């Protein structure tokens, strides 16, 4: 590894300080003015071309190399989650969020610091770059489809030529050992779609159910039948998950309600699986409704598609990790994770790889740690320097091919 790709102690300290500043003032959605300002300040002084978004508080920075005509992209998402952070007794925990009910419990603050670190490393080696590097600082990953907005505003073509590859790192508070980079070829994360099912019957008195058409048992039957149908009609090698997370009906024990409603997420790992999940949900609900003498309306809204890694780019990640950090620092997942990500939008357009990075405490059992999206999730800041190093090395090596 070229020594200039190593994060110097002074830069490592600045990256941790940046992470902590972002962590203290988390923001939600597409409008992140304070976070955007921190990113712009962290990039000031570097010889990079910076633009900001129109529809969202994005930042795009281009590091120009010695040659033109090719480019790669590095993504760092910036938004937080609408939850309350649980205080930590650890001495190495960052100062807590100062915004009530908002917290960086998914580690995006580390992602921003990692990409800023990569910007510093790449700017120092611009005379060696066989092309340009686009740094994508993205709001709105947590359900707001920020990647789509940035693609619409031209992030993939920000350097001039369309980027030929894209990479994103995501820290993990559990499941992956500290400092280990983990990924796989093909589907690495699931698609996630959302459904609202409304069952309509005829209300009445619970003492005379024969004079009503009760939507509640029909809705209950739909929920249980969905799981049976999945088990018996979905290919286990292209799985589908339909999880009902909300169910509401009725106002009092003695009243048969007119409507019952439930909401579900549909997770799948291929375009065909995504279609099957929606078709199965509609088929079950329509059939059960007919059996119970009620009507049903199924509304499905599309979320993020499956995140699908390019096999050659995963091989490049493995080679880079093993050569730079050692073979023990790479893990190839056997199966994808049933979480979703809007980096899928980028990988639908260009080759690339989405990579997990274990950020639990070094001494901890990752299986026993609190997961991402929990108020008590803890991310060890020492991995930021390694994230910056890997991202910079991937960009350098990809441009050299």
Q: What is the mean pLDDT of residues 58-81?
A: 96
Positive or negative: CA dihedral 209, 215, 216, 220: positive
Q: Which helix (H) or strand (E) holds 118?
A: helix 108-124
For the domain 191-304, what is the CATH code? 3.30.70.360
Q: Which residue has the tokens 């960052």?
A: 94
Structure tokens at 391: 């991202």
pLDDT of 3 = 45
pLDDT of 5 = 66
Q: What confidence tens digit (pLDDT) does each residue in 245-277 have?
A: 999 999 999 999 999 999 999 999 999 999 999
Rounded-to-integer distance, Cα 282 and Cα 287, Å: 8
Q: What confidence tens digit (pLDDT) does each residue in 294-342 have?
A: 999 999 999 999 999 999 999 999 999 999 999 999 999 999 999 999 9
pLDDT of 1 = 46
Rounded-to-integer distance, Cα 130 and Cα 115, Å: 19
Q: Is the pTM of this model over 0.95?
A: no
The topology (CATH level 3) of 3-188+306-399 is Aminopeptidase (3.40.630)
pLDDT of 115 = 98
Q: Quick check: helix, strand or coil at residue 343?
A: helix
β-strand pairing of 165-172 with 71-77: parallel
Phi, psi (rounded to 5 degrees) for 266:
-120, 120
Domains of the chain, residue spans? 3-188+306-399, 191-304
How sure is the predictor about 343, in pLDDT bands with cuts at 50, 70 and 90?
very high
pLDDT of 393 = 97
Structure tokens at 387: 């994230």
Strand extents, DSSP E, 305-383: 307-309, 330-332, 352-358
How sure is the predictor about 71, in pLDDT bands with cuts at 50, 70 and 90?
very high
pLDDT of 167 = 98
Q: Which residue has the tokens 């992140």?
A: 32
Q: What confidence tens digit (pLDDT) does each residue in 8-19 have?
A: 899 999 999 999
High-pLDDT (> 90) share of the chain, %: 92
CA distances in angstroms from 165 to 69, 85, 355, listed in the order given: 13, 35, 14
Q: What confidence tens digit (pLDDT) does each residue in 85-138 have?
A: 987 767 778 889 999 999 999 999 999 999 999 999 999 999 989 999 999 999
CA 240 to chain centre: 19
């Amino acid at each position: 590894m070229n020594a200039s790709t190593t994060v110097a102690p002074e830069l490592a300290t600045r990256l941790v300080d940046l992470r902590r500043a972002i962590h203290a003032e988390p923001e939600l959605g597409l409008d992140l003015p304070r976070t955007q300002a921190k990113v712009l300040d962290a990039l000031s002084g570097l010889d990079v071309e910076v633009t900001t978004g129109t529809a969202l508080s994005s930042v795009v920075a281009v590091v120009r190399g010695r040659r033109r005509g090719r480019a790669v992209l590095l993504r760092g998402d910036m938004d937080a989650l609408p939850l309350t952070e649980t205080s930590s007794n650890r001495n190495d925990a960052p100062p807590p969020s100062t915004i009530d009910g908002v917290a960086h419990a998914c580690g995006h603050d580390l992602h921003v610091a990692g990409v800023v670190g990569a910007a510093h490393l790449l700017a120092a080696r611009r005379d060696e770059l066989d092309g340009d590097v686009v740094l994508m600082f993205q709001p709105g990953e947590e359900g707001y489809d920020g990647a789509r907005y940035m693609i619409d505003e031209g992030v993939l073509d920000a350097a001039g030529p369309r980027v030929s590859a894209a990479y994103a790192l995501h820290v993990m508070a559990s499941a992956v050992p500290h400092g280990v980079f983990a990924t796989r070829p093909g589907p690495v994360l699931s698609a996630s779609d959302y459904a609202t099912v409304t069952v309509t019957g005829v209300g009445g008195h619970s003492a005379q159910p024969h004079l009503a058409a009760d939507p509640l048992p029909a809705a209950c039957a739909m929920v249980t039948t969905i799981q049976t149908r999945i088990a018996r009609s979905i290919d286990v090698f292209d799985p589908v998950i339909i999880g009902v997370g909300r169910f509401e009906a009725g106002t009092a024990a003695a009243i048969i309600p007119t409507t019952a409603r439930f909401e579900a997420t549909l997770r799948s790992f291929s375009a065909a699986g995504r279609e099957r999940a929606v078709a199965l949900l509609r088929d079950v609900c329509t059939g059960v409704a007919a059996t119970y003498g009620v009507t049903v309306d199924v509304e499905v809204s599309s979320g993020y598609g499956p995140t699908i890694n390019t096999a050659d780019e995963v091989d490049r990640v493995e080679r880079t990790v093993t050569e730079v950090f050692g073979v023990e620092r790479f893990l190839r997942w056997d199966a994808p994770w049933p979480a979703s990500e809007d980096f899928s939008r980028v990988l639908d357009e260009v080759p690339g790889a989405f990579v997990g990075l274990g950020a639990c405490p070094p001494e901890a059992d990752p299986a026993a740690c609190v997961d991402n999206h929990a108020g008590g999730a803890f991310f060890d800041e020492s991995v930021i320097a390694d994230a910056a190093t890997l991202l910079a090395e991937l960009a350098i090596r990809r441009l050299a091919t």
